[in-house]
Structure 1
Amino acid sequence: MLLTSAPLASADEVRDKQWPLTVYDAEDVWKTSQGEGVTVAVVDSGVDASHPDLTGQVLPGKDFSTPGSQPHNDPDGHGTGMASLIAGHGHGPGRASGVMGLAPKAKILPVKADDGKAMSEYWPEAVRYAVDQGVEVINLSFVDTGATPGTRGAKAIAYAQANDVVVVAGVGNDGGTVHYPAALPGVVAVTAVDKNLKPWSNANTGKGVTLAAPGVDITSARTKTRSGYSIVSGTSDATAYVSAIAALLRSKFPDLTAGQIINRMVKSADYLGNAPDKETLGYGIARPGTAMRMDIPKGPKEGPLAKAPSGTESKGAPAEGDDSSSKESAGKKKKSSSSSGLLIGVGIGVAVLIVVGVIFAVLRSRGNRGNGGPGNGGPGGPGGPSGYPGQQQYPNAAPGQAYPAPPGQAPQQGGPYGQQR
């Protein structure tokens, strides 16, 4: 099952609080893949490459929000947290302290797109830059309700998909419908579950949710807190974990397309005791070990999610063997099957008429179907139309605090856990 309750053998408080490593049985997962040779772009507030859990993992990158600045400057700390969940390697003897990412040997490309005011202005260009650098996965742990189809953001996502990149984004934290860019066609839209693998009540729901992953009470690296760590909740963290799973798979199966990697993730997901509900959990909770070891046909290159239309892209198809396609598609399959039955035993002339009629009906239906994406975004959540809605604040921040934290110091929590950006 690869979602177990085996305890972690660690005396480090930060590591002990990383419950996702326990449920994912990370030690066993790492025997198959640790994300070697894969680069994940973190389009966010920057990534602090000096954090002890990330040293050597962070590439130069670029800052699009502040010309001349470095993407390793992360005054907010959000991007550093996401990077640590993806590719953190811990620190200290045996790397037994600090945060371990789920893909600890993947590399992080920091692409800063947040000046604290208007992230929506910068992230589309940041995505294109990441694609041009050859990344295999792009992590978008933010919402931008203005990134509707046809906008600069949507076109940047389509550019990434046309270049065989897995794009992962959070659905949002305000309890509404799936936000953009997660709602764009072809994007892996991620929701959050708690340590009991139950849906997080603040996560957005509706048409377009793809996968669920741990996102409640998540310990991650964090700049500007006294300890260098924080515990927060949000679909941002769940998004980072799914990006890490994509990195594990891209390392294990370098011959698969981005769509086929997504196919492995959705076909290996499971509701794990939850009632099947695609609008809440999508295809289910992502399972890295199962995704790497399960016998899953490659499926179409386009994968199971529809993509934005372009002159060079296919529309995508249901996951191979998927029985959860749309009612419209199911209806067509049933209608086609019935037509085939009617042809049995009838005269040649009648058969020809039926075939012509069916072809005409199918062509007309296809012409009316359009290029619908995985879901529609809703109104902006707390925090404005773009960014990381509902960010938990940490009032005891200590700028310039050296790492690591003093022995025995707990991760910074800052009051009741709010919604993470």
Structure 2
Amino acid sequence: MTGALLLTSASTASADYVRDGQWPLTVYDAEKVWETSRGADVTVAVVDSGVDASHVDLTGQVLPGKDFTGSDNPQQDNAGHGTGMASLIAGHGHGANGAAGVMGLAPESKILPVRVDTSENNVDTAALTAGIRYAVDQGASVINLSIGDSSAYPGSKAAEAIAYAQDHDVVVVAATGNDAGTVSYPAALPGVVAVSAVDQSLGFWGKSNTGNVTVAAPGVQTPQADPTSPSGYVKADGTSGSAAYVSAIVALLRSEYPNLSAGQTINRLIKAASFLENKGKKAPDSQLGYGIARPGSALTMDIPAGPKEGPLAKASTSTNSGAASDGDDSKTQAKKKSKSSSGGILVIAGIAAVVVVIAILFAVIRSRRNRGNRGGGPGSGGGTPGYPVGYPQQPPTGQQPYPYPPDAGQSQGYPTPPGQPPRHGQ
């Protein structure tokens, strides 16, 4: 499919200045996409600053959720960020026919708010860990992490929680970061769908972090709900919004293809992605990954399901669940391995001893024969000492954590809506 087809305009123009600004819906030809799927029966966990369930564009979409900040109110959002992500995923707009406000790309999905402390621009690790596990146990099939957390490095408790989600057939989507650096954790963890941003021309947004990117999505000047703004809305730049849009696409896929595993769902997402007008790119590209995510194509293309584990590498599952039984199993495995190794060493030692005895006997016999055969010349010289075929390679250096603020992109608040907002064509 060409970029021109992807950029099909919506058939009608709205009369709402917020909705008119939602260029991603136009790019994705959302009305056409919704003929196939609207995300019904899918729960998307938004692990963030909370979600304001009373926002006019989210009423009825937000589940009770849980607060890990100690305030015991997951539906409170003092930062506005979590509400914004929820609106891009499951917003239903408001007014006549829902034509005003923010419409999410998966408007029939449900949002599970998981509130964590983002006030210091560095997510509380314990809350993040507990929140992810909570989301899994509550039945979320998609987890959106539009956050930056420097402590979610491989081997950390937060990384184990993400692996726990993956082990339970959950698709984890995360923002790559907004400081033009290297893909940040948790997006850099194995198996996580790492999302960078593109602008209105579908060109790469220069502040997106790069490296191990999975796909890209709209993330520049995206209107979203924000209860902290006087108008209730902001326009924002950042990979946070890009990740939210990809989480919405995953929700559409999981609704339409409920029998596909998380890995197979990711496979559809990747196989349907395209570089479009970004010429000269080869997958996986450090900026766009496998391309710009395309919901319509992902929903309708003839794509073989593929293996259940999907195309992305996963972390080892041997110690991911964190359950006591798993720890016992690990110890048992270690003991078995130790016994097996010891047994192997004993067998090898026995064989070596036999070989030594035979060699000594052979040398004695040969010596006697040489002494008895005086006409014989000296024996041939010894062989050259052997060298290993290859040298062990230095293990690859792990990517270092690179923290970034949960909402590092610029946000521009909308003015309070005028009485008669101007009508803009699409």
Q: Place the TM-score, normalised by the shorter chain, in its bin.
A: 0.7 to 0.9
Match of 1:243 in 2: 247
Kindly indicate whether residue 59 of structure 2 is the aligned counterpart of residue 55 of structure 1: yes
- 1:116-155 to 2 correspondence within 5 Å? 116-117=119-120, 118-121=122-125, 122-155=127-160
Q: 1:303 aligns with which of 310, 316, 324?
A: 310
Match of 1:65 in 2: 69
Letter of the 1:112 partner, please give it. Answer: R
1: CA distance, partners of 2:253 / 2:301: 12
- 1:16-31 to 2 correspondence within 5 Å? 16-31=20-35
Q: 1:281 aligns with which of 276, 288, 306?
A: 288
Q: Output the TM-score relative to the length of structure 1.
A: 0.77
1: CA distance, partners of 2:88 / 2:420: 21
Match of 1:388 in 2: 407
Q: CA deviation at 1:409?
A: 6.0
Residue deviations 1:213-232 (CA, integer Å, cap 9, x gap): 00001001111111110001
Secondary structure at 1:281's aligned position in 2?
Answer: coil
- 1:167-182 to 2 correspondence within 5 Å? 167-182=172-187
Q: CA deviation at 1:378?
A: 5.0
Q: Evaluate the alpha carbon distance shift between residue 113 and residue 191 of structure 1 in structure 2; reply closer, same or farther with a 3 A threshold.
A: same
Number of residues of Structure 1 aligned to a counterpart in Structure 2: 344
Match of 1:407 in 2: 419
Kindly indicate whether residue 274 of structure 2 is the aligned counterpart of residue 262 of structure 1: no
1: CA distance, partners of 2:149 / 2:420: 39
Q: Output the TM-score relative to the length of structure 2.
A: 0.76
| Structure 1 gap segments, 5+ residues each | 314-363, 398-403, 411-421
Match of 1:293 in 2: 300
1: CA distance, partners of 2:136 / 2:262: 13
Residue deviations 1:267-325 (CA, integer Å, cap 9, x gap): 00000011315101000000000001000000010000001101399xxxxxxxxxxxx
Are the counterparts in 2 of residues 227 and 409 from structure 1 also a CA contact under 8 Å? no
Q: CA deviation at 1:145?
A: 2.0
Secondary structure at 2:247's aligned position in 1?
Answer: helix
Match of 1:379 in 2: 402
Q: CA deviation at 1:12?
A: 1.0
Letter of the 1:407 partner, please give it. Answer: G
Residue deviations 1:199-247 (CA, integer Å, cap 9, x gap): 00100111x1000000001001111111110001000000000000000
1: CA distance, partners of 2:85 / 2:261: 24
Aligned residues: CA RMSD: 2.4
1: CA distance, partners of 2:15 / 2:207: 32
Q: Evaluate the alpha carbon distance shift between residue 264 and residue 125 of structure 1 in structure 2; reply closer, same or farther with a 3 A threshold.
A: same
1: CA distance, partners of 2:89 / 2:74: 17
Match of 1:9 in 2: 13
Larger Rg: 2
Q: CA deviation at 1:369?
A: 11
Q: CA deviation at 1:6?
A: 1.1
Are the counterparts in 2 of residues 65 and 119 from structure 1 also a CA contact under 8 Å? no
Q: Evaluate the alpha carbon distance shift between residue 211 and residue 405 of structure 1 in structure 2; reply closer, same or farther with a 3 A threshold.
A: same
Are the counterparts in 2 of residues 74 and 223 from structure 1 also a CA contact under 8 Å? yes
Q: Evaluate the alpha carbon distance shift between residue 78 and residue 29 of structure 1 in structure 2; reply closer, same or farther with a 3 A threshold.
A: same
Q: 2:117 aligns with which of 111, 114, 117?
A: 114
Are the counterparts in 1 of residues 238 and 407 from structure 2 also a CA contact under 8 Å? no
2: CA distance, partners of 1:88 / 1:220: 9
Q: Evaluate the alpha carbon distance shift between residue 233 and residue 30 of structure 1 in structure 2; reply closer, same or farther with a 3 A threshold.
A: same
Match of 2:234 in 1: 230
- 1:304-383 to 2 correspondence within 5 Å? 304-311=311-318, 376-377=399-400, 379-381=402-404, 383=405
Match of 1:183 in 2: 188
Q: Evaluate the alpha carbon distance shift between residue 12 and residue 134 of structure 1 in structure 2; reply closer, same or farther with a 3 A threshold.
A: same
Q: CA deviation at 1:119?
A: 1.9
Kindly indicate whether residue 207 of structure 2 is the aligned counterpart of residue 202 of structure 1: yes
1: CA distance, partners of 2:38 / 2:417: 26
Match of 1:85 in 2: 88
Match of 2:379 in 1: none
Match of 1:166 in 2: 171
Are the counterparts in 2 of residues 143 and 389 from structure 1 also a CA contact under 8 Å? no
Residue deviations 1:10-59 (CA, integer Å, cap 9, x gap): 11111110000001000000000000000000000000001111000000
Q: Evaluate the alpha carbon distance shift between residue 198 and residue 92 of structure 1 in structure 2; reply closer, same or farther with a 3 A threshold.
A: same
Q: CA deviation at 1:9?
A: 1.9
